[in-house]
Amino acid sequence: MRVLSRGDVLALSFGAMIGWGWVVLTGSWIKEGGSLGAMLAFLIGSIMVIFVGLAYAELTPAMPKCGGEHVFSYRAMGVTGSFICTWAIILGYVSVVAFEAVALPTVLEYLFPNYKQGYLWTVAGWDVYATWVAVGVIGSVILTVINYLGIRPAAFLQNILTVMIGIVGLMLLGGGLFSGDTANMQPFFSNGLKGLFAVLIMTPFMFVGFDVIPQAAEEIKIPFKTIGKILIFSVFLAAFWYMMVIFAVSRALPLEQAASSKLPTADAMAALFGGSWAAKLLILGGIAGILTSWNSFYIGASRAIYAMAHARMLPGFLGVLHPKYKTPSNAILLIGLFSVMAPLFGRKMLVWLVDAGSLGIVIAWSMVSLSFLILRYREPEMKRPFVVPNGKLVGYLATVLSIGMILLYMPGTPSALVWPYEWLIFLGWSLLGIVFYIWARISYGNVADEIMRQVVLREEREDGISQSA
């Protein structure tokens, strides 16, 4: 059912990208790279994302089917390529959902410092409390129910919350410009290339979200050409947002204070406007960011899982649509289970999920970029409602930049994933994917290839109708 408008699509994409990380992680970005170094890392990261986003912008209206990357990579690389690409992006999406389930109880520590009660256990030196876990679990249940009931309620919630975030962000920028102090921004660069890379490897996780649009393509009711334009605009908007936040916080707080703060952006808001009321207002915007990102990735992850299950790459029960709400209900419940479990591992889970999820995201982006390039050569006559100028050059740049980003996570680099926690998340997910792939091949044989071929053929038959939608 096509119900999502232009505003819905922009709110879905932008709201997914800005999330909660800007509230809780800005201090660590400034500490690692310095004020200008952190902004430079996000600028470099945004360049890669913009090139990848251009590939998505052309492929999404050309193949507006549920699953996005799942369909793009199949058409270019077949079943195995499609499985790897989609499984990698699902890791990114699920890690964001789990991240937000940990972020929500974290923010309440700022508003209610003594609310943690009922010690449970310690994970990586961080004590986990029953009330802290309960907040994350309750939030997970609520978001699961909203998404279970349909895309329309989820989109309405997304629009309201995105407006709230925008208002708070403009206040923070204004305060940084007119009340901040440039002297607080020193040192402008910290830790050389190591500091730059440490921030750079986090940027894919912060920008992931525009790629939720392809997942819900079958539920978008605007002209397909417009989808590509909105997608690119949302990436530019998110790049501006992150650099603006770093700029405002670094002007508001000295480095030591920003680095030691639990919520540096909230403390910056209080310093700029001279009162705790401003910090609490920003936290409300941060909570809105948690919910927009959380909501978007419920949508993205559930549609990707549904697409794989429908193609018999995952167990068939995950490819079931609810008879009344027309949502991938079982996939949503599975994601809800991951979200409910995340708070049990404590706050240290935040950084682990950012880094491990980022690697999955960049792997998927590299495969989408390569798919874009392959299809430009193999199917030059394929109907593309939105055509990227100098497409082959864009494809090469997107592929090279995303592969280069993958290398930054590898052992031996200054920004390698941390052993054992981050590598165990990534390798455990990869092993689970291998098990599912082998199981699907044994259970269904070549059915996946037949189903995906039919999806592509149906696209071509319906193309004349869809172009006028």
Residue 209 to residues 204, 212, 300, Cα–Cα distance (Å): 10, 5, 8
Residue 455 has pLDDT above 80, yes or no: no
- The answer to whether residues 309 and 317 touch, using CB atoms and an 8 Å cutoff, is yes
Residue type, 162: T
Angle between helices 35-62 and 224-252 (to 10 degrees): 170
Average pLDDT for the chain? 85
Task: Name the 3-class secondary structure at 74.
Answer: helix
Q: Which of 394, 393, 405, 392 is nearest to 365 (CA)?
A: 405
| Phi, psi values for residue 150, rounded to 5° | 135, 160
Structure-block tokens of residue 22? 């800007």
pLDDT (tens digit, 9 = 90+) per residue, 155-180?
676 678 778 888 888 899 999 999 99
**Segment (H or E) for 222:** none
How large is the average pLDDT for residues 396-417?
A: 87
pLDDT value at position 301? 86
**184 neighbors 252 (Cβ within 8 angstroms):** yes
pLDDT of residue 215: 63
How many Cα neighbours within 13 Å face the side chain of 5?
Answer: 6
Residue 197 reports pLDDT greater than 80: yes
Rounded to whole angstroms, how far apart are CA atoms 425 and 181? 41
Exposure b/e, 299-322, CB count within 10 A at least 16 = b: bbbbbbbbbbbbbbbbbeebbeee
DSSP structure string for 232-259: HHHHHHHHHHHHHHHHHHHHHS-HHHHH
The Cβ of residue 100 has, within 10 Å, a number of other Cβ atoms equal to 30
Model confidence over 310-331: pLDDT tens digits? 888 888 888 888 888 888 889 9
- Which strand (E) or helix (H) includes residue 327? none
pLDDT at 466 over 60: no
Residue in the structure block whose two tokens are 């006028």? 468
Sign for the CA dihedral angle at 228, 201, 296, 269 comes to negative
With 0-12 / 13-18 / 19 or more C-beta atoms within 10 angstroms meaning exposed / middle / buried, residue 208 is buried
Cβ count within 10 A of residue 18: 28
- What is the C-alpha separation between 96 and 357, in angstroms, rounded? 7
- H helices present in 149-189, as ranges: 151-179
Nearest Cα to Cα of residue 428 among 81, 95, 74, 21: 95
Nearest to 9 by CA among 174, 178, 205, 229: 229
Q: What is the pLDDT of residue 467?
A: 44
Q: Give 82's DSSP letter.
A: H
| Residue 112's pLDDT band (cuts 50, 70, 90) | confident
Nearest to 209 by CA among 349, 346, 75, 99: 99
CB 74 within 8 A of CB 452: yes
Taking alpha carbons only, the member of 234, 265, 103 closest to residue 169 is 265
The pLDDT, as a whole number, for residue 118 is 94
State both tokens at 285: 């915007």
φ, ψ for residue 419, nearest 5 deg: -95, 135
Count, residues in the chain: 469
Q: Give the residue among 239, 233, 181 at the shortest CA–CA distance from 18.
A: 239
3-state SS assignment for residue 5? coil
CATH number of 6-462: 1.20.1740.10
| Residue 168 dihedral angles phi and psi, to the nearest 5° | -65, -40
Give dist(CA 11, CA 3) in Å, integer.
Answer: 14
Q: What is the pLDDT of residue 349?
A: 76
Span 67-84, pLDDT tens digits: 678 888 999 999 899 999
Grade residue 250 by pLDDT with cuts at 50, 70 and 90. Answer: very high
Mean pLDDT to the nearest integer, 330-345:
90
Give yes or no for residue 353 having a pLDDT over 60.
yes
469 confidence band (pLDDT: 50, 70, 90) = very low
Q: Mind listing the pLDDT tens digit for each residue in 427-446?
A: 999 999 999 889 888 888 88
Residue 361 to residue 175: CA distance in whole angstroms: 34
Specify whether the CB–CB gap between 445 and 313 falls below 8 A.
Answer: no
